[in-house]
């Protein structure tokens, strides 16, 4: 991986959020390219860190720093921006307040104002990043020209919320989570969380075709679960961060910003041009939801379904064919 720009930190001071206040809120971000170029905002997803964003940023990729000023943002609660794991008492750990998508977007906007960005040419993201991309033209309708939602939605569906209760319950009910007051990594809880989460990340056909073996990297399903899912969360994530960030996902709904919960009316009023790219086999954000949303968005949005067996992770740089297809569609959209 090519060397990355230094992570920068914007201090908001005392920031009011959905569940209270963060006394010294911090947004972590990176910038690529010249501010003289059109600005592209690319926030993280669930399980994403700033290092994760490089799959779409680079001179050989669609978010080319030679053409665009790319700003990648870390979500609150991802362990890089203000989170339960890095906030001092009295808002540490389980005492960290709930944070909404709107809170994140307004904080990211404050960073762009400091940088001198006059307009966002494109807001783009995958999964929770895609939901943030939806929020941008709703929260700041005259500031955003285009947005791309990859494997996300404008509102987290009841089915999606129900899924999230599974891994959450596996973690918080574990014998070592201790209501968020653990002193050491809750091994039992995070391992259980990863296993519950894993099956939903891919399409059924992906498992049936044994693609989890990753061309011989894993000898069997048990090894895949242990090394890919248990290890991934154990190495990189704090348990309270996982729970707080999950709450942000569960509560996603752009119509809460305006229109009083009327999602169709909210989407009908979006001015920016949109590209909505669900995965054909996504179990979190099924394409049927995207069809309804694009219908409400009208002529301002286009639906392109990713024809894949990789399920939800198809949108996050998991495999080259899907990644090439997504980037080619985004490139076409940028050039329109």
Q: Give the Cα separation of 41 and 123 in Å (integer).
A: 5
pLDDT in tens, 205-226: 999 999 999 999 999 999 999 9
Task: Give pLDDT tens digits for 185-201.
Answer: 999 999 999 999 998 99
> Catalytic site residue 282?
yes
Domain spanning 8-156+253-335, CATH architecture:
3-Layer(aba) Sandwich (3.40)
Whether 160-246 and 8-156+253-335 are alike in CATH topology: the answer is no
| pLDDT, tens digit, 9 for 90 and up, residues 266-288 | 999 999 999 999 999 999 999 99
Residue 312 annotated as catalytic: yes
In the structure, what pLDDT confidence band is assigned to residue 258 with cuts at 50, 70 and 90?
A: confident
Chain segment 44-101, per-residue pLDDT in tens: 999 999 999 999 999 999 999 999 999 999 999 999 999 999 999 999 999 999 999 9
Catalytic residue among 64, 103, 253, 282: 282
Percent of the chain with pLDDT over 90: 97
Tens digits of residue pLDDT in 230-241: 999 999 999 999
Q: List the catalytic residue out of 85, 241, 279, 312.
A: 312
User: Can you list the alpha helix ranges (DSSP code H) found in 37-175?
Assistant: 101-115, 128-139, 158-172
Residue 279 a catalytic site member: no
What mean pLDDT is predicted for residues 160-171?
97
pTM across the whole model: 0.96
Pick the catalytic residue from 77, 81, 83, 127: 127
φ/ψ bin of 246: left (φ > 0), alpha (ψ from -120 to 50), beta (otherwise): alpha
Q: What is the CATH number of domain 160-246?
A: 1.10.1740
Domain boundaries, given as residue ranges, for the chain: 8-156+253-335, 160-246
Q: How large is the average pLDDT for residues 315-328?
A: 97
* Alpha-carbon gap, residue 236 to 283, rounded angstroms: 24
């Amino acid at each position: 991986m090519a060397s990355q720009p230094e992570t920068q930190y914007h201090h908001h001071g005392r920031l009011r959020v959905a569940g209270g206040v963060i006394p010294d809120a911090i947004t972590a971000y990176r910038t690529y390219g010249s501010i003289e170029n059109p600005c592209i905002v690319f926030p993280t997803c669930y399980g994403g860190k700033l290092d994760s964003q490089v799959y779409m940023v680079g001179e050989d990729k669609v978010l080319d720093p030679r053409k665009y000023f790319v700003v990648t943002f870390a979500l609150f609660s991802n362990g890089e921006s203000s989170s339960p794991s890095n906030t001092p008492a009295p808002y540490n750990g389980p005492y960290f307040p709930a944070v909404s998508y709107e809170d994140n977007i307004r904080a990211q906007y404050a960073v762009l104002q400091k940088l001198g960005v006059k307009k966002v040419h494109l807001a783009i993201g995958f999964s929770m990043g895609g939901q943030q991309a939806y929020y941008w033209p709703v929260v700041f309708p005259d500031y955003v020209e285009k947005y791309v939602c990859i494997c996300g939605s404008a509102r987290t569906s009841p089915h999606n919320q129900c899924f999230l209760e599974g891994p959450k319950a596996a973690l918080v009910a574990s014998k070592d989570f201790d209501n968020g007051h653990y002193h050491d990594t809750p091994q039992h809880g995070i391992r259980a969380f990863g296993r519950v989460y894993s099956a939903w990340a891919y399409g059924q056909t992906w498992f049936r075709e044994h693609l989890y073996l990753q061309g011989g990297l894993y000898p069997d399903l048990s090894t895949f679960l242990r090394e890919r899912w248990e290890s991934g969360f154990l190495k990189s994530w704090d348990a309270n961060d996982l729970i707080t960030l999950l709450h942000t996902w569960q509560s996603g709904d752009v119509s809460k910003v305006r229109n009083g919960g009327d999602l169709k009316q909210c989407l009908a009023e979006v001015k920016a041009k949109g590209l909505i790219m669900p995965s054909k086999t996504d179990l979190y954000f099924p394409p049927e939801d995207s069809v309804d949303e694009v219908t409400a968005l009208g002529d301002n949005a286009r639906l392109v379904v990713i024809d894949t067996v990789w399920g939800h992770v198809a949108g996050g740089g998991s495999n080259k064919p899907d990644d090439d297809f997504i980037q080619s569609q985004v490139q076409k959209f940028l050039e329109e």
